[in-house]
Each structure stands twice: as structure tokens, then as C-alpha cells.
Homo-oligomer: A and B are copies of this chain.
Amino acid sequence: MYGYTRLMDHLINELTKMPGVGRKSGQRLAFYLLKADDEYVLGLADAMRRVKEGVRFCGECGNLTEGDICAICADEDRDKSVICVVEDPQDVQALEKTGQYTGVYHVLMGAISPLDGIGPEDLEISRLVERVAEGAKEVIIATDPDVEGDATAHYLAQLLRPLGPKVSRIARGLPVGGDLRYADEVTLGKALAGRTELLGSSDF
């Protein structure tokens, strides 16, 4: 316990259960809330409650929605035959910001991670298999470029290729605006291995 009043100690305890909130930041947040306007704090408490009640996962792809189907799956202009597989709803937002993707998504809700006890059966994979079997032309695997994301990509490729679609993985390479001399050797190795031929001035 923290030695303030019973209610403050309880609030700090609850706050420190959140990721990245330790003893010190829990106390800082609790004191901020104590001193903040009533209106703000009650509004924040209400926003938390309403997210739990109103936000759910799309029955088609697993993205966030306040209805049954998310805005992307409901959009008739999106190409339903191309499915981009990501780990989390945040990744959907990151890809949407590129403005370059016109297919749909599938959110796995994590990645295969034996160390954390997360196997394929803990992810939204059976629904993905169904969707692919319904006739996808291409599956783009956009899990994170780390050990878990790569293991998941490998597993999915083995599982989905027999069903017919082209299965691809997003490219690894140097980030745009980055500096070659500061790139780590693994990224640089992937950038070399994934080099693309320059055929004309339109390449730049």
C-alpha cells in the first residue's frame, strides 16, 4: 500500500495494473486525477465504461467496430479477394494511413509466441482459413517483422498456400529517410536480399 487514504491507495493499485504504469507513475496519475476537474475525471471514467459496452470486434475480420461489421468490411469498394493479415487493430490503422491498400484485413489478435504460451489455437486463425477457402486470390501477411511475427507468417504460409491463394509477406528493408550507416545488420541483410531491379526512371 502507499500510505495515503484508503481510496487513494486503492486507485493507485488499480492504475498500476495497466501496462507501463509503475509505482511512481501510478501515484502521479492518481494525484493528477485527484486535482483535476470533476468533469474531466467523471468523463474519463464514463469513456472507459462506454468503450467496454460499445466497442466490439468485427465478425468478419476482427477489426474494431461499434456495429456487427467494421467500416472496411462494409465498404463495397474494397476488394474482398485480397486479405491483409495483421496482429492487432492498431496495425489496420497504420496500413490505412498509407492510403495505398484497397483490399480487406484479417486481425489475428496477436502472434505465435511459444515463450508467452501463445499457440496458433489462441489466434483468430480458423476464421481466416474459412475466409481464404471462400475464394481469396491473395493473402498478404503483415505481421510484425520480429521473431513472433516471422514465425506466424511461416505457419500461415504453410497452412494457406494449399488452399490456392498467392501468399506474400510485406517487404523488410531500410526505412525511408533512414541512414544506411546506422542500419542494423539484420535489416541491411534483408534489404540486400530483397533488392529490386531498377528498370527505368519511374522506379524513384
Q: Which residues of A contact B (CB under 8 A)?
A: 2-8, 10-11, 14-15, 17-20, 25, 27-34, 38, 40-52, 54-55, 64-66, 88-90, 93, 96-97
Contact = CB atoms under 8 A, between A and B. Distances in A.
Contact of A49 (B5, B8, B41, B90): B41
A3 B96 contact: yes
Q: Is the interface of A mostly helix, strand, loop or mixed?
A: helix
A38 B52 contact: yes
Please give the count of copies of this chain that the complex contains: 2
A98 to B, nearest CB: 12
Contacts of A28: 19-20
Contact of A34 (B17, B38, B41, B51): B51
Given A65-B5, A89-B31, A52 B48 contact: no
Given A8-B51, A20-B25, A31 B88 contact: yes
A112 to B, nearest CB: 18
19 contacts: A3-B93, A3-B96, A4-B93, A5-B64, A5-B65, A5-B66, A8-B51, A15-B44, A17-B40, A17-B44, A18-B29, A18-B32, A18-B33, A19-B29, A30-B51, A34-B55, A42-B52, A45-B45, A45-B48
